């Protein structure tokens, strides 16, 4: 009886690693709880509008994209060490009282922190996060720089142990100023962005 008991224990001991791997989604998804680097690219569309006491701007849709390089910690925290966002749109405005069409563009340089489930042993990764940094906005020949912040949420589907893809919504606001004569006026540039993110995870 003892021989049978020890034989069963030995069988379980030698077979448990492979049995455990088969019980997970896939052995290819095992990632551990350490830190790992990643690259992300997001492509989609953005709605940008200016907000100020004397401005009534409904906003304009245009092309939007963002890219980031960062580190994932303990499968729960993701830090975009550098996140670059860009949006471009065609709009209507006035120049010296004359209606004109123009192209506006916005460039964001930010850092962001995302909280969620980034374990590659599971397929779906919901997350939320926020960002801070600076933004550059240009229209006509004018260029404005200012403080910027953002917040967003999304989820990813783990395709392989290295590749994930999923939708993301992000709101970005830039606090900008422009000068007319001796007066300086402030305005907020708001961008609502919908993108599909592609994430490449390192080992």
Supply the pTM of this predicted model.
0.76
**Cα distances (angstroms) measured from residue 88 to each of 91, 94, 104, 114:** 10, 19, 6, 25
Listing DSSP states for 177-193 in one string gives EEEETTEEEEEEEEEEE
Cα of first residue to Cα of last residue in the chain, in angstroms, is 46
**What token pair was written down for 88?**
């471009």
Per-residue pLDDT of 132-183, as tens digits, reads 999 999 987 889 999 999 999 999 999 998 999 999 999 999 999 876 667 7
**117 touches 109 (CB < 8 A):** no
pLDDT of residue 41: 97
**What token pair was written down for 102?**
């123009």
pLDDT of residue 93: 64
**Residue entry with tokens 């606001």:** 173
Closest by Cα among 91, 96, 83 to 48: 91
Q: What is the CATH number of domain 33-201?
A: 2.40.160.20
Helix (H) or strand (E) holding 21: helix 2-23
d(CA 39, CA 21): 27
Helix (H, G, I), strand (E, B) or coil at 96: coil
How crowded is the C-beta side of 162, counted as CA atoms within 13 Å? 4
Domain ranges of the chain: 1-30, 33-201
Would you place residue 50 in the very low, low, confident or very high pLDDT band (cuts 50, 70, 90)?
A: confident
**Cα distances (angstroms) measured from residue 101 to each of 52, 60, 77, 93, 95:** 20, 12, 43, 6, 9
Helix (H, G, I), strand (E, B) or coil at 163: strand
Per-residue pLDDT of 183-201, as tens digits, reads 777 888 999 999 999 999 9
With the CA atoms of 89, 65, 189 and 177 taken in that order, what torsion angle do they form, in degrees rounded to the nearest 10? Answer: -100
Per-residue pLDDT of 81-114, as tens digits, reads 999 999 998 877 655 666 777 788 999 999 999 9
């Amino acid at each position: 009886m003892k021989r049978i008991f020890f034989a069963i224990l030995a069988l379980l001991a030698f077979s448990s690693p492979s049995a455990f791997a088969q019980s997970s989604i896939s052995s290819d998804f095992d990632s551990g709880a350490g830190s790992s680097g990643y690259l992300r690219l997001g492509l989609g569309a953005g709605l940008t509008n200016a907000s100020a006491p004397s401005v009534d701007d409904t906003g304009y849709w245009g092309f939007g994209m963002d890219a980031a390089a960062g580190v994932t910690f303990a499968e729960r925290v993701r830090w975009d060490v550098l996140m670059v966002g860009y949006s471009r749109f065609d709009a209507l405005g006035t120049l010296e009282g004359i209606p004109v069409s123009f192209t506006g563009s916005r460039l964001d340089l930010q850092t962001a922190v995302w909280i969620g489930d980034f374990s590659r042993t599971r397929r779906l990764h919901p997350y939320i996060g926020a960002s801070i940094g600076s933004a550059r906005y240009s229209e006509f020949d004018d260029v404005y720089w200012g403080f910027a912040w953002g917040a967003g949420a999304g989820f990813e589907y783990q395709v392989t142990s290295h590749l994930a893809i999923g939708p993301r919504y992000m709101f970005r606001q830039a606090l900008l100023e422009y000068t007319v004569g001796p007066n300086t006026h402030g305005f907020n540039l708001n961008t609502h962005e919908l993108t599909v993110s592609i994430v490449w995870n390192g080992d």
